[in-house]
C-alpha cells in the first residue's frame, strides 16, 4: 500500500526565506528611502501571498515513504461549488468540474502520459503518437492520442461515462487492459462499476455533456435524483429530498442563478417547500 503525505508550503517559513535571501544578497550596507523600503516590502509580501494562494489550489506533491522520484505525484482539486483548469506539461488542457480530483506523476510526459481522475473532467489532449494519453477513471482506462472528450467518474455514481467530442478514444478495462469499446465523435460509452465490464455505447450530444465548463448546467428530461446530485456539486451543498415523484423529470438550464433563485424556479414547475440552512438544504414535494 502506497503511503502518501500531502506537503503544503508554510507561509511563515516562506516569508523567513524571502527575508534571509534579501539580507544575504546585501553585501554592502545601503541607505534606502522610506518609499523604496515600502516598495520592497510590498513585493516580498506579494510573493508570499501568491505562494500561499497557490497552495490553496495545488496541494503540492505527494511522496511515498521511500521518497522515490517516480512515486511523486501532483494533485489538483476542484472543491464542491467551484471549477478549475490545469495545463499539463505536454500542453494538454484539463478542466475539472466541482468535486473533482486529478493526479499525475511529476515524471509525466517523460515516458508515459497517464492521469488519474475522480469526478468529472474535460480533456483537450495534445497529440503525441509515441505516447498515448490515458485517463485512469475507476474501473476503466480512457486511451487517446489527440482528442477532446469528457469523463464523468464520481465515486458516488455506479457507472463511468465518457463522451467523445472529436478524435477517437478506446475504453479499456483497468484490470486487464482489454478493449471494451472504441468511440467515435458524438458517442458516449457508459461502463458499470460492478466489475462485469459491461459497456453501453449510444449516440449523444457530446458538447452538451461538457457544457458545464462554460458555467452552465443543462438538464434534458433527467430524473430528480440525477439532477440533485449535480446541483449538490454545483452549489457545494447537501440536498435532502422528501416525497419526490419517481416519474418526475426536468428540462432546464442553470447559468448564473443562485440556489434560492433555482429552487424558486423549480417551485413554479413543481410545487415544493424548501429550506436552506448553510450547506444543508431540504426540499419537500407537496
Per-residue pLDDT of the chain (286 residues; tens, 9 = 90+): 444 434 444 444 444 444 444 444 333 333 334 444 344 444 443 433 333 333 334 444 333 333 444 458 999 999 999 999 999 999 999 999 999 999 999 999 998 999 999 999 999 999 998 999 999 998 999 999 889 999 999 999 999 999 999 999 999 998 888 999 999 999 999 998 887 778 999 999 999 999 999 999 999 999 999 999 999 999 999 999 999 998 999 999 999 999 999 999 999 999 999 999 999 999 999 8
**In this structure, are strands 280-285 and 238-242 parallel, antiparallel, or unpaired?**
parallel
Q: Copy the grid coordinates of residue 68.
A: 522515490
Per-residue model confidence (pLDDT) at position 47 = 38
- DSSP H stretches of helix in 90-212: 206-209
Round to whole Å and give the CA distance between 95 and 99.
12
Place of cell 449523444: 204
Per-residue model confidence (pLDDT) at position 148 = 97
Round to whole Å and give the CA distance between 112 and 70.
12
Per-residue model confidence (pLDDT) at position 5 = 38
**In this structure, are strands 249-254 and 100-105 parallel, antiparallel, or unpaired?**
unpaired
Rounded to two decimals, the pTM is 0.73
Query: Domains of the chain by range and CATH?
Result: 5-59 (no CATH), 72-209 (2.60.120.1440), 216-285 (3.55.50.30)
Round to whole Å and give the CA distance between 127 and 145.
5
- Cβ atoms of 145 and 133 within 8 Å: the answer is yes
Per-residue model confidence (pLDDT) at position 71 = 58
- Strands, E assignment, the chain: 5-6, 58-63, 73-78, 84-87, 93-96, 100-105, 113-124, 133-137, 140-144, 148-153, 159-166, 169-173, 179-183, 187-192, 199-203, 217-223, 238-242, 249-254, 272-277, 280-285
Q: Copy the grid coordinates of residue 139.
A: 474501473
Per-residue model confidence (pLDDT) at position 151 = 98
CA 267, chain centre distance (Å): 31
Amino acid at each position: 500500500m502506497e503511503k502518501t503525505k500531502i506537503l503544503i508550503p508554510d507561509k511563515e517559513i516562506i516569508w523567513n526565506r524571502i527575508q534571509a535571501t534579501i539580507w544575504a544578497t546585501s553585501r554592502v550596507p545601503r541607505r534606502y528611502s522610506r518609499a523604496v523600503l515600502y516598495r520592497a516590502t510590498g513585493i516580498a509580501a506579494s510573493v508570499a501571498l501568491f505562494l500561499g494562494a497557490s497552495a490553496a489550489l495545488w496541494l503540492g506533491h505527494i511522496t511515498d515513504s521511500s521518497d522515490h522520484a517516480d512515486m511523486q505525484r501532483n494533485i489538483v482539486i476542484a472543491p464542491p461549488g467551484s471549477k478549475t483548469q490545469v495545463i499539463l506539461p505536454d500542453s494538454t488542457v484539463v478542466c475539472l468540474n466541482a468535486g473533482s480530483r486529478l493526479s499525475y506523476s511529476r515524471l509525466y510526459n517523460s515516458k508515459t502520459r497517464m492521469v488519474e481522475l475522480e469526478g468529472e473532467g474535460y480533456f483537450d489532449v495534445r497529440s503525441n503518437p509515441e505516447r498515448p494519453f490515458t485517463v485512469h477513471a475507476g474501473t476503466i482506462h480512457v486511451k487517446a492520442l489527440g482528442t477532446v472528450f469528457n469523463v464523468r467518474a464520481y465515486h458516488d455514481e455506479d457507472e463511468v461515462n465518457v463522451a467523445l467530442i472529436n478524435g477517437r478514444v478506446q475504453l479499456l478495462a483497468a484490470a486487464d487492459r482489454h478493449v471494451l469499446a472504441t468511440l467515435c465523435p458524438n458517442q458516449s460509452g457508459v461502463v458499470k462499476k460492478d466489475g462485469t465490464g459491461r459497456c453501453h455505447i449510444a449516440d449523444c450530444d457530446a458538447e452538451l455533456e461538457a457544457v458545464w465548463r462554460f458555467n452552465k448546467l443543462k438538464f434534458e428530461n433527467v430524473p430528480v435524483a440525477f439532477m440533485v446530485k449535480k446541483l449538490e456539486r454545483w452549489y457545494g451543498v447537501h440536498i435532502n429530498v422528501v416525497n419526490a415523484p419517481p416519474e418526475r423529470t426536468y428540462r432546464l438550464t442553470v447559468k448564473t442563478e443562485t440556489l434560492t433563485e433555482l429552487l424558486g424556479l423549480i417551485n413554479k414547475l413543481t410545487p415544493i417547500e424548501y429550506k436552506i440552512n448553510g450547506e444543508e438544504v431540504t426540499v419537500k414535494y407537496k
